[in-house]
Amino acid sequence: MLTTTKAANAYDVALENFDTAADAMGLNNDTREMIKYPERVLTVSVPVRMDDGHIHRFEAFRVQHSSVRGPAKGGIRYHPQVTLDEVKALATWMTWKCAVVNIPFGGAKGGITCNPKIMSQGELEGMTRRYTSAILPLIGPEQDIPAPDVYTNSQTMAWIMDTYSMTKGYPIPGVVTGKPISLGGSLGRNEATGRGVFYTIQSACEHLRMSLPGAEVAVQGFGNAGSIAAQLLHAAGAKVIAVSDSTGCVYNKNGLDIPELIHMKTLCGHVEGFPESEAISPAELLALKCEILVPAALENTIRVDNASAVRARIIAEAANGPLTPEADRILEGKGVFVIPDILCNAGGVTVSYFEWVQDEQHLFWEAQDVYDRLERVMKVAFRDVLKIHLERKVPMRIAANMLGIGRVAEAVQLRGIYP
């Protein structure tokens, strides 16, 4: 049972959000033309011999939105609904996100239109290696550095790193982030997105003078980002009352045992049927009366048709693009405090940056060092966005876009344009 629809085109949303922020900043047209659109867009065919012997052609993409502030950076998504427009939107958001947390990367994204849930490990490995070969001219530690996203993980990154390294003849760990630790991954990268979400929720509670211990939380999407955010919120004393994944939603008004739920999800692959919980519908989860709602699945979860039902005080966007612009306007009218995606989920790319730095230096950090640096970055970024929100009296999303777009605009103006 899915709660998302493809009603809004994610790339249209990304362009609309850009224009809204650029208008609020009074950004001139020349600069807009130079930074708004992707620098490179690549569509490739990925033929894979499937386990039954036949060859299946998958369509796949890599989009580099910006290299103005540094190498392009962004995850790779495996999902049946991946489209070029979705990848362009996600690449665009990566550019502003890297600038919001002030790390020296531009934005990129990749994706393969496939259903990884029905593919074997062998088929996934073959598809990943062939895709890596197809996008080889674009990627590299100084050019464009992929990472995990929906339904890709550290194993996927290990295959990409190996395929890339085979073409060079020596290991190049810095070509991807989110790798296994034994291949040059960083401690703390796996939980970085959820941890960053947690730090921004802490900052929002402080700003709104809300207590996190005892706060009721609902989490939509229980993968990497959602489950880690839920775990940290639970450990901090919040009451996670509802959680969902693509198979169903579970609810307990007294709070779910999140460590046990993670254990079950790891063993069984779903949250449905969790003991001491009742099943609710995806629509009911989004409409629960709670302090904090964490959308952590896909785009367009909260739209014009269900935004009015939301009763949370804070929405923390662990997912990219979970709110459409119409939903934004409705929630703004209701006084909901939105921690926008390009701030809220920037912990992943921040620790990816730390991983890349460690790979380049061949010197690895302690986990606590990663957490402390991440907390500083996230809290400074939250403070910077909040300052614009309060001073310019614009919603948090526009404030975050103004910060990110402003930094990219400054960089492009300083670099000038090659005649």
Residues 6+ apart with CB under 8 A from 18: 32, 36, 92, 401, 405
- Shortest gap between Cβ of 24 and ligand NAD (angstroms)? 25
State how far the Cα of 275 lies from the Cα of 390, in Å rounded to an integer. 44
Q: Is 185 a residue that touches ligand NAD (CB under 6 A)? A: no
Closest-CA residue to 40 (of 65, 59, 4): 65
x/- track of binding to ligand NAD for residues 288-327 (CB under 6 A): --------xxx-------------------xxx-------
Closest-CA residue to 160 (of 142, 192, 199, 134): 134
Size of the site for ligand NAD (CB under 6 A): 27
Structure tokens at 139: 């990627």
Closest-CA residue to 232 (of 310, 299, 294): 294
Q: Which of positions 240-259 make contact with ligand NAD (CB under 6 A)?
A: 244-246
Annotated active-site residue in 88, 97, 109, 179: 109
- Shortest gap between Cβ of 258 and ligand NAD (angstroms)? 14
Helix axes 192-208, 347-361, angle to 10 degrees: 130
For the question of residue 379 being annotated catalytic, the response is no
State how far the Cα of 406 lies from the Cα of 412, in Å rounded to an integer. 10
- Shortest gap between Cβ of 54 and ligand NAD (angstroms)? 27
Q: Is 17 a residue that touches ligand NAD (CB under 6 A)? A: no
Q: For residue 120, report the phi and psi dihedrals to the nearest 5 degrees.
A: -80, 165
- Shortest gap between Cβ of 214 and ligand NAD (angstroms)? 25
Closest residue to ligand NAD, judged by C-beta, is 223
Q: Which of positions 337-356 make contact with ligand NAD (CB under 6 A)?
A: 345, 348
Binding-site member from 108, 150, 293, 403 for ligand NAD (CB under 6 A): 150
Q: Interface with ligand NAD by CB under 6 A: which range of 7-15, 135-143, 214-222, 302-310?
A: 214-222
- Shortest gap between Cβ of 68 and ligand NAD (angstroms)? 21
x/- track of binding to ligand NAD for residues 129-148 (CB under 6 A): -------------------x
- Shortest gap between Cβ of 407 and ligand NAD (angstroms)? 19
Residues 6+ apart with CB under 8 A from 366: 187
Binding-site member from 154, 220, 252, 324 for ligand NAD (CB under 6 A): 220
Q: Interface with ligand NAD by CB under 6 A: which range of 8-16, 23-31, 239-247, 303-311?
A: 239-247
Rank residues 148 and 184 by Cβ distance to ligand NAD and give the closer one. Answer: 148
Binding-site member from 106, 146, 174, 223 for ligand NAD (CB under 6 A): 223
**Catalytic residue numbers, as ranges:** 109
Interacting residues toward ligand NAD by CB under 6 A: 2-4, 148-151, 193, 220-226, 244-246, 282, 296-298, 318-320, 345, 348
